[in-house]
Amino acid sequence: MMTTNEFQVTGMTCGHCEMSVREEVSEVPGVEGVEVSAQTGKLVVSGSAPIDEARILAAVAGAGYSAVRSA
């Protein structure tokens, strides 16, 4: 069963931004899928095991953006 976490990212404006976020987030252990949209700011992370939210937020910060968990 896949678990999915949704985040709202601020500061992304283009495809390059999406790529930066995708690259950083996909390196987090347990992450198997990353969907990111600069247009909506939506980041959806999926994996087969629960993913450490703090590591996702840190990865987004590492890419130069900020994120919050979506409800």
What pLDDT sits at residue 1? 78
Contact 1, 48 (CB under 8 A): yes
Q: What is the side-by-side strand order in the sheet with 42-47?
A: 33-36, 42-47, 3-10, 66-69
Domains of the chain in start order, with CATH, are: 3-69 (3.30.70.100)
What pLDDT sits at residue 11? 96
What pLDDT sits at residue 71? 67
pTM of the model: 0.92
Half-sphere exposure of 43 (CA within 13 A, CB side): 28
What pLDDT sits at residue 24? 97
Instruction: Report residues of the chain scoring pLDDT below 50.
Output: none
